Amino acid sequence: MILDADTVPPSPWKNGGGQTRELLRLPASGADPGSVSQDWRLRLSLADITADGPFSAFHGVRRWFAVIEGEGVVLGLAGGERAVRRGDAPLSFDGDEAPGCRLIGGATRDLNLMLQGLDGELAAAPAGAAWVAAWPQRGFFEAASRRLHWPFTGTVAPADGWWIGCDA
């Protein structure tokens, strides 16, 4: 499947600080993509953050967060504040944390991977980079076109973007 993220309708956040486009939920369900229901094991989304405010907590979830457009954010994590800017490696953190989020220079667009009961990763992939992780389930998100390739069966990044991998 190749999914154009711009064709996915956004769901507003309950706190009013942005909106989310859910790109992938495994297993698939009929739940509202904007809900915080945890009836999934993998959730990949594209979020537009337009105002400072807290993230939602997701108990038992490992999260990865990458800024793909905009200047970035500062997240207030248990270990201290952490700036995440476009071009930085994705940040992984415990979903039990609901970090405060402060925009650095205006709205951002961010790629979010959440895994519940799975091991996996979100990793930057410059065009031409070889896939090196051995995850049995994997995908690729293209930065410029905002297209998700799931599953991705190739071994080389077709454009600048992010590898998505998990164990089941």
Q: Are residues 14 and 45 in the same domain?
A: yes
Clarify whether residues 65 and 126 are in a common domain: no
Residue 34 lies in a domain: yes
Q: What is the pLDDT of residues 105-151, one digit of tens each?
A: 999 999 999 999 999 999 999 999 999 888 999 999 999 999 999 99
- The amino acid sitting at 122 is L
Do 110 and 125 lie in a common domain? no
Backbone φ/ψ region at 53: left (φ over 0), alpha (ψ -120 to 50), beta: left
- In a shared domain, residues 72 and 96: yes
| Residue 68 domain flag | yes
CA-wise closest residue to 131 among 149, 116, 109: 149
pLDDT for res 17:
83
Residues 137 and 82 in one domain: no
Q: Give the neighbor-by-neighbor strand order of the sheet with 61-69.
A: 11-12, 18-26, 42-49, 108-116, 61-69, 91-94
Taking 50 as the pLDDT cut, the residues of the chain under it are: 33
150 inside domain:
yes
Q: What is the total count of domains within the chain?
A: 2
Query: For residue 151, what are the domain limits?
Result: 120-166
- What does the pLDDT read at residue 29? 64
